[in-house]
Amino acid sequence: MCGRYSISVSPEELEDVFEAPLSGQVVLPRWAEDSSGARWINARAESVSSKPAFREAFESRRCLIPADGFYEWVQRGARKQPYWIHHRQGGLLGFAGLWESWQPRTGEALEAFTILTTTSNALVAPLHDRMPVVLEPEAWTTWLDRATPLVVVRALLAPVPEDLLVARAVSALVNRVDRDDRRCVEPLREEAPEPLDLFGGG
C-alpha cells in the first residue's frame, strides 16, 4: 500500500532528472466510477498484467511517478507513528506506475495514474507488508519503452534493495491530508518513539 508520498523539488528539477516536460494534472484512475475510488490508487505488481482493469495499461501505458519519499505507520499504543521512507542520499525516486486518460461524465479529460506495489523489503517490512515498486534510474527507459518484452517488464517489479532507503520517524501532522508542508518530512522533535527494529535483530 502506498497511500501518501512526498514530492518537494521544483518543477525544473523534475524536468531535468526525468528529462520530460511537466504538463496537465493527475487524479485517481478512470477505473473508479467516481473520484471516491481511493482503492485504485495502487495496483499489485503480481497480478497487474492479468487484471482486466490494468492489463491494457500495463502493456502500453507505463509511467514513472516522481517522489522523494513515501509514508508508512506503526501502531504505538493508542496512536500510529508515521515513518518517512526516502532515498539514503536524498535523491529522487521513480515509482512504477500506469496511466490513463480519463473522460469523466462531465468536464474535460484528465490524466490519471496508479502506483504499482510489491512485497516489502527488509527495511519496510516492519512497517507494512507492501511498498511501492521503486525503479532505479538505469531501469527507467526499459520500463517506459513499449517495445520492451513483457517478461522483462515483469522482472522489474521487485522490491528495491533495502540499503537504498532509510526510514525515520516524523510528526503525526502527516496523518492529516490537509497538512502539506515541510514539517511532514522533518525528523520527529517531540518525544521520540521506541526504536524500530528494522532488521529483526531484537
Model confidence pLDDT, tens digit, residues 73-95: 988 888 889 999 999 988 889 99
Task: Name the H helices within the chain.
Answer: 11-18, 55-60, 140-144, 150-155
Buried b (16+ CB within 10 A) or exposed e, 138-170: ebbebbbeeeeeeeebeebbebbebebbbbebb
* Whole-number Å distance between alpha carbons of 180 and 169: 17
What is residue 195's DSSP assignment? P
50/23: higher pLDDT: 50
When pLDDT is cut at 50, 70 and 90, the band that residue 175 belongs to is confident
Q: Say how many C-beta atoms besides its own lie within 10 A of residue 40's C-beta.
A: 16
Statement: residue 128 has pLDDT above 80: yes
pLDDT at 202: 40
pTM, two decimal places: 0.81
When pLDDT is cut at 50, 70 and 90, the band that residue 148 belongs to is very high
- Mean pLDDT calculated for residue range 152-171: 94
51/132: higher pLDDT: 132
Q: CATH for 5-184, among 3.40.50.720, 3.90.1680.10, 3.30.530.20, 3.10.20.30?
A: 3.90.1680.10
- Mean pLDDT calculated for residue range 38-46: 80
- Mean pLDDT calculated for residue range 148-175: 92
pLDDT at 109: 74
pLDDT at 24: 56
Q: Quote the percentage of the chain above a pLDDT of 90.
A: 47
What is residue 114's DSSP assignment? E
